[in-house]
Amino acid sequence: MSRIHLLSPRLANQIAAGEVVERPASVVKEVLENSLDAGATRVDIDVEAGGSKLIRIRDNGSGMAAEDLPLALARHATSKIASLEDLERVGSLGFRGEALASIGSVSRLTLTSNPREQGSEGSSAACEGREMEVQVKPAPHPRGTTVEVRDLFFNTPARRKFLRTEKTEFNHLEEVVKRLALSRFDVAFSLRHNGRVLHNLQPGLSQAERQRRVATVCGPAFMEQALYIETDIAQLKLWGWVGLPTFSRSQADLQYFFVNGRIIRDRLVAHAVKQAYRDVLYHGRHPAFVLYLELDPAQVDVNVHPTKHEVRFRDGREVHNFIFSSLHRALADVRPGDPAADTAVLEDGLAVDTATGEITRQSGLAWGAQPPAGAGAGGFGAYRAPTGPAPGQAMEQLRAYARVHGLPEAGSEEEAPPLGYALAQLKGIYILAENARGMVLVDMHAAHERITYERLKAARASEGIRSQPLLVPRAVAVSQREVQVAAEHAGLFQRLGMVVEVAGEESLVIRQIPVSLRDSDVEQLLRDVLADLIEYGSSDRIESHLDEILATMACHGSVRANRRLTIPEMNALLRDMEATERAGQCNHGRPTWTQLSIEELDKLFLRGR
């Protein structure tokens, strides 16, 4: 007897279901993608028991005729591609034609649809987890399609055992809906669980409506701490919202990246984002972002993963560099006084906890009614009693302060320095300043550390990296691929002060290294750089090591705690902060300043109640 035999269609479908249908959330993802591909402008999702008992998804898309329903439930049947050329320029979310067949093999599935604009007479087809003739019968239905999935995994009990609690499964399902709601602002989404409406998202076409949806899905705290970016070069466009470094997370749970409307989790993208935040993010923290990359569909292969979560870019290096440079410049350009910087400070009584990255509401401050000891008229010239000025008096007080201390006077609020003028030093650590909005607190060491660090980096960029030859060149055994990559990027190594030459088919020689890396493990550094170049097409490990040394120099060269500064010195530090890139965070990612407005101070003291 032959030892090789064909799988039955039923078993083949169930094996395919193992790739496509992992849990109820997988079903929702596949069906919602079909709805969006069908041009739906409204999708209603109704689930019970976390989706294991019932998933019903109704859309107002193009619908299907009665003769199409049996094919829709067959394997590898699709309306989205017809040739290899179509596959190379996929513009739809789904295209393999496996989803409904796989879902139907492990559930009781009913498909009801109507393609007509007028009339409510549609058609319905059903299958129940086994190979059977699909019966099509008339059924009332408005234009669009309803997919009803009951008793998921009823015929595969081993798979059903792997489902988690109802709450856990619903959380995964809800996350899928959130992702797709962020991918299509023009579509209305509603989600109901066990008869209770949890989300009812209306279409968002204007910028304000889009921001409202992002705030609904990601939380208002994210939008209060986010920077909107939009940049494009040649055939690449990147736009969306990136969280400021002060709004970081303990996990990578608020990261949404879309390529031509498809959400992906890609190592190349993750590496580019991580590089952009390297200089400003607190250790062990993760950035938050909702970003959209648009490019020619022919430049990205979406057919490299069964669940289509990963993609492959035709020119990964160009995409990586574009994402990195766009985010790096956007984060660097945020200065005190910019609209984006205002969102990084306290707003409406909210504060950022730098230890947890969470947003909390302020309940009060330990604040005395008397000025700090030793603060006379010169050191605390604009000190006022807790009654505070009326809103219109703030600028006049700043002008008076400027006159007393011989500083340039601001003619209007727009001309006033963003960080205002220094009033005093608190405990030898913080600078207390007053600006047009209210009170500013600055961590003087953290602020000066960032200023010094940026100056050292600028000096290195203008003067170049000093390097020295090794007395004994270091031979390094590597693979043939690594030798090839090292030869291709010889210019990159040279610009970074490192001379690496090919010594054989599987051997490299390090002849010259940057002076500041003379005590480093340069052999391991070379291996790590080559690994990055192979994986991502770029590497910042050498710059990172050089920057770490500059950061240490900046830390030791900055003003220390408990050092007394004069008022002019404090004002000079504030002006330097306003002119320095990334001045909102020190080299370690900690905030350098924060603000309390007059309104927020009034709330703390219950004024006006």
CB 142 within 8 A of CB 114: yes
Which 3 state secondary structure label does DSSP give 605? coil
Return the CATH number at 158: 3.30.565.10
Q: How high is the pLDDT of residue 18?
A: 64
CB 176 within 8 A of CB 28: yes
Q: Looking at the structure, do residues 134 and 279 belong to the same domain, yes or no?
A: no
Q: Looking at the structure, do residues 162 and 267 belong to the same domain, yes or no?
A: no
Which tokens go with 335?
Answer: 């200065």
For residues 47 and 24, give the distance between their C-alpha atoms in angstroms, rounded to a whole number.
9
Q: Is residue 602 part of a domain?
A: no
Radius of gyration of the chain (CA): 30
Cβ-Cβ contacts under 8 Å for 392 (sequence gap 6 or more): none
Q: How high is the pLDDT of residue 413?
A: 60
β-pair type (42-48, 188-193): parallel
Q: Is residue 354 part of a domain?
A: no
Q: How high is the pLDDT of residue 504?
A: 93
Beta pairing partners, 108: 128, 150
Which 3 state secondary structure label does DSSP give 457? helix
Q: Is residue 335 part of a domain?
A: yes
For residues 8 and 21, give the distance between their C-alpha atoms in angstroms, rounded to a whole number.
19
Q: Looking at the structure, do residues 148 and 116 belong to the same domain, yes or no?
A: yes
Q: Is residue 524 part of a domain?
A: yes
Q: Tell how far CA 406 is from the center of its chain.
A: 45
Which tokens go with 486?
Answer: 């090292």
Mean pLDDT by 10 residues, the chain (609 residues): 78 68 93 94 98 97 93 80 71 75 91 88 88 82 96 90 94 97 97 97 94 95 93 93 89 94 90 91 89 93 70 90 94 73 37 36 29 30 33 60 70 76 93 93 94 89 87 94 93 88 95 86 90 85 84 79 87 94 87 92 88
Phi, psi (deg, nearest 5) at residue 125: -135, 150
Q: Looking at the structure, do residues 180 and 264 belong to the same domain, yes or no?
A: no
Q: Looking at the structure, do residues 306 and 433 belong to the same domain, yes or no?
A: no
For residue 54, the 8-state DSSP code is E
Angle, helices 444-463 vs 541-556, to 10°: value is 130
Task: Give the domain range for residue 116.
Answer: 9-201
> Which of these three, 167, 201, 235, is where a domain ends?
201
For residues 405 and 120, give the distance between their C-alpha atoms in angstroms, rounded to a whole number.
79
For residues 336 and 71, give the distance between their C-alpha atoms in angstroms, rounded to a whole number.
60
Closest CA to 254 of 227, 288, 217: 288
Q: Looking at the structure, do residues 97 and 229 belong to the same domain, yes or no?
A: no
Q: Looking at the structure, do residues 253 and 161 belong to the same domain, yes or no?
A: no
Give the torsion sign (CA, 100, 104, 105, 107).
Answer: positive
Q: How high is the pLDDT of residue 541?
A: 84
Q: How high is the pLDDT of residue 379?
A: 27
Q: Is residue 352 part of a domain?
A: no
> Which of these three, 325, 342, 359, is where a domain ends?
342
Closest CA to 279 of 5, 569, 543: 543
CB 594 within 8 A of CB 455: no
Q: Is residue 212 part of a domain?
A: no
Return the CATH number at 331: 3.30.230.10
The end-to-end CA distance of the chain, in Å, is 91
CB 371 within 8 A of CB 383: yes
Q: Looking at the structure, do residues 196 and 274 belong to the same domain, yes or no?
A: no
The b/e string for 103-137 (b: 16+ C-beta within 10 A; e otherwise) is: bbbbbbbbbbbbbeeeeeebbbbbbebeeeeeeee
Q: Tell how far CA 263 is from the center of its chain.
A: 12
Q: Report DSSP letters for 223-251, one per residue.
A: HHTEEEEEEEETTEEEEEEEE-TTS-BSS
Q: Is residue 79 part of a domain?
A: yes
Q: How high is the pLDDT of residue 579?
A: 93
For residues 494 and 511, give the distance between their C-alpha atoms in angstroms, rounded to a whole number.
11
Q: Looking at the structure, do residues 239 and 191 belong to the same domain, yes or no?
A: no
Q: Looking at the structure, do residues 406 and 531 belong to the same domain, yes or no?
A: yes
Q: Looking at the structure, do residues 190 and 265 belong to the same domain, yes or no?
A: no
For the chain, the domain total comes to 3
Q: Is residue 550 part of a domain?
A: yes
Degrees, nearest 5: CA angle 316-318-320: 65
Q: Looking at the structure, do residues 527 and 559 belong to the same domain, yes or no?
A: yes
Q: How high is the pLDDT of residue 154?
A: 92
